[in-house]
Chain A
């Protein structure tokens, strides 16, 4: 079965600073990968998904971007963080029809 790693676990960043969150997956190859954000009281929102290396689809216009430089690596980035970027960021991997989630990164933008 897959194992999903995310780091860092928590992050506090000032407004306007850059961001890089990393997700790596073990135990599978050529997976679909996803970034979700969970903002307080707003449920989970799909940000990006990728069906292969270099293939990124964005679901919500925003100041975030994603990249997939390797088959099992998915990176979420921002050049300048906004206060509204605070939240809990979850990486997920699809295996057949199921999705498995990583432990998440708690981002606080101050």
Chain B
């Protein structure tokens, strides 16, 4: 069964600094990969997705992610973080055996300092 690992539970960055959130997956076939963001008490908002093609994908709010098959990774990046980016970030992989339900990592909590 596929799984998703987000190694960093918490990350703190200064406003204006660059950001990289790590995600590793375990999946036999070409994965459908996603990054979601969740603000406190809110639902999940899709940041970006990868299905096939160009391995560098652009998303909303200035985020991008790169799919690296050799490393089984799908890391999320942003060149300059804003205070409003503070939130919980989830990486997920779609499971074709469960109606394409999402298998989530445990999330990374991002704190942005002034």
Contact = CB atoms under 8 A, between A and B. Distances in A.
The contact size tier of chain A is 20 to 34
Chain A interface, DSSP helix/strand/loop, else mixed: strand
Contacts, number: 59
Nearest to A44: B104
A7 B32 CA distance: 30
Interface stretch (A12-20, A77-85, A90-98): A90-98
A43 interface: yes
The size class of the interface chain B forms with chain A is 20 to 34
A103 interface: yes
A43 B51 contact: no
Interface stretch (B13-21, B42-50, B60-68, B69-77): B42-50
A100 B32 CA distance: 15
A101 B43 contact: yes
Interface in A62-110: 90, 92, 94, 97-104, 106
Given A45-B104, A102-B43, A104-B42, 4 more contacts: A34-B102, A44-B44, A49-B101, A98-B34
Interface of B: 32, 34, 36, 41-46, 49, 51, 90, 94, 98-107
